[in-house]
Amino acid sequence: MNTHPSSVVTAAVFDTKPYDREALQRASANHGIEWHFLDFRLTQDSASAARNARAVCVFVNDELSRPCLEVLAAQGVELIALRCTGSNHVDVDAAKQLKLTVTRVPVYSPHAVAEHAVALLLTLNRKTHRAFNRVRELNFSLNGLVGFDLHGKTAGIIGTGKIGRVTAEILHGFGMRVLAYDLFPNHEWARQAGVEYAEVSVLLRDSDVISLHTPLTAETRYIIRADTIKLMRRGSILINVSRGALVDTKALIQALKSGRLAGVGLDVYEEEEGIFFEDLSGEVLHDDELARLLTFPNVLITSHQAFLTREALSEIARTTVANISALAGQASFVEGSVVT
């Protein structure tokens, strides 16, 4: 049980990286939060490390399954504060039944994520990742580095929420025609931004660049798979900074082997848990599909870093601290952040 006076909230922070610790400590000065920073992920087995904590703070690859939530609830945890937007990794029904409040960060910097999507696109298209390595080896040859003008080409944005809209606007600024697809189209924004909504099949058929910006749900899982890849233009570029399981990796590898896709930029991967965010440089990679993806010169993978800007980190920390402080009655939960 918590032994502190009710004005001090003890929070166990799982999967803490140095930049999380710094941002949370900076945001919580005078907020009466006692942090327990843990560098391992939350799993059913590690959940006991949250004993004495009223709040648990976790990130995208922590486990929030029913058995894990049961351990947390039995220890007296009241709040699970996600330091991310997506809540697809939470067993929401179990959290409700166990009377655990779950909060997320509804918005931090859509610009951080959208700009990273565009960074992947520009790098892949102009092959600056390969040019960087070549020039360091004094190889000044340009052979194999031909890209294409984005200006005048068509971009397809799947999901026009906060991040998808910013991505669309940046690409429109490059002089691209922008097609969009969303379950709930925002026609007023599209009119102002010069974006056209289209059926997903039309978007896939007509786009030279496709960027995914939906959350991971039962409907969006494998939205990019063998039969939807077949609809895509030969030579198109696919960017996924949203969630790994939006893309069927096996089908993606086949499409890359056949030369159907000109480039793939991934900030997320369906089996990233336990791999992304870790330094495995001295170890053997056991994931054969990730290993295969890494062999393609036209695949660019970053390790779920699209959110990683100073502005995003400080906004994530501000919302997280506000939600944890709400436990001590110092504030209410940040609007739009309560999942359960």
| Residues involved in catalysis | 243, 272, 304
Using rule CB under 6 A, residue 337 touches ligand NAD: no
Using rule CB under 6 A, residue 159 touches ligand NAD: yes
Sequence-distant (≥ 6) Cβ neighbours of residue 266 within 8 angstroms: 120, 239, 240, 241, 244, 247, 293, 299, 300, 301, 302
Minimum Å distance from CB 142 to ligand NAD?
32
Minimum Å distance from CB 317 to ligand NAD?
15
* Pick 2 or 164: Cβ nearer ligand NAD: 164
Using rule CB under 6 A, residue 320 touches ligand NAD: no
Residue 183 phi, psi (nearest 5) = -60, -35
Using rule CB under 6 A, residue 241 touches ligand NAD: yes
Q: Which positions from 178 through 237 interact with ligand NAD, judged by CB under 6 A?
A: 181-184, 213-217, 219-220
Number of residues that bind ligand NAD (CB under 6 A): 29
Interface characters, 245-284, with ligand NAD (x: CB under 6 A): ----------------------xx----------------
* Pick 110 or 263: Cβ nearer ligand NAD: 110
Minimum Å distance from CB 82 to ligand NAD?
11
Minimum Å distance from CB 293 to ligand NAD?
17
Using rule CB under 6 A, residue 162 touches ligand NAD: yes
* Pick 73 or 91: Cβ nearer ligand NAD: 91
Residue 310: enclosing H or E segment and its boundaries? helix 310-325
326-340: b or e for each residue (b if 16 or more CB lie within 10 Å)?
Answer: bbbebeebbeebebb
The span of 13-21, 94-102, 241-249, 274-282 binding ligand NAD (CB under 6 A) equals 241-249
* Pick 73 or 193: Cβ nearer ligand NAD: 193
* Pick 41 or 213: Cβ nearer ligand NAD: 213
Using rule CB under 6 A, residue 85 touches ligand NAD: yes
Q: How far apart are CA 308 and CA 109, in angstroms?
A: 10
Per CB under 6 A, the list member of 21, 65, 86, 309 interacting with ligand NAD is 86
Q: What is the DSSP string of 144-170?
A: T------TT-EEEEE--SHHHHHHHHH
Distances (CA, A) of 227 to 142, 182, 219, 224, 244: 35, 19, 15, 8, 18
Contact 203, 180 (CB under 8 A): yes
Q: Residue 21 burial by CB count (10 A; 0-12/13-18/19+): exposed, middle or buried?
A: middle
Other CB atoms within a 10 A radius of the CB of residue 59 amount to 21
* Pick 54 or 304: Cβ nearer ligand NAD: 304
What three-state secondary structure class fits 133?
Answer: helix
Per the listing, tokens 């709930």 go with 184
Q: Which of 206, 210, 198, 155 is nearest to 178 (CA)?
A: 155
Q: Can you read off the two tokens belonging to residue 260?
A: 């159907």
Minimum Å distance from CB 308 to ligand NAD?
7
> What end-to-end distance do the CA atoms of the chain give, in Å?
22
Using rule CB under 6 A, residue 171 touches ligand NAD: no
Minimum Å distance from CB 301 to ligand NAD?
12
Q: Which of 223, 220, 239, 221 is nearest to 231 (CA)?
A: 223
* Pick 307 or 333: Cβ nearer ligand NAD: 307
Minimum Å distance from CB 327 to ligand NAD?
25
Residues that bind ligand NAD (CB under 6 A): 85-86, 110, 113, 159-164, 181-184, 213-217, 219-220, 241-243, 267-268, 304, 306-307
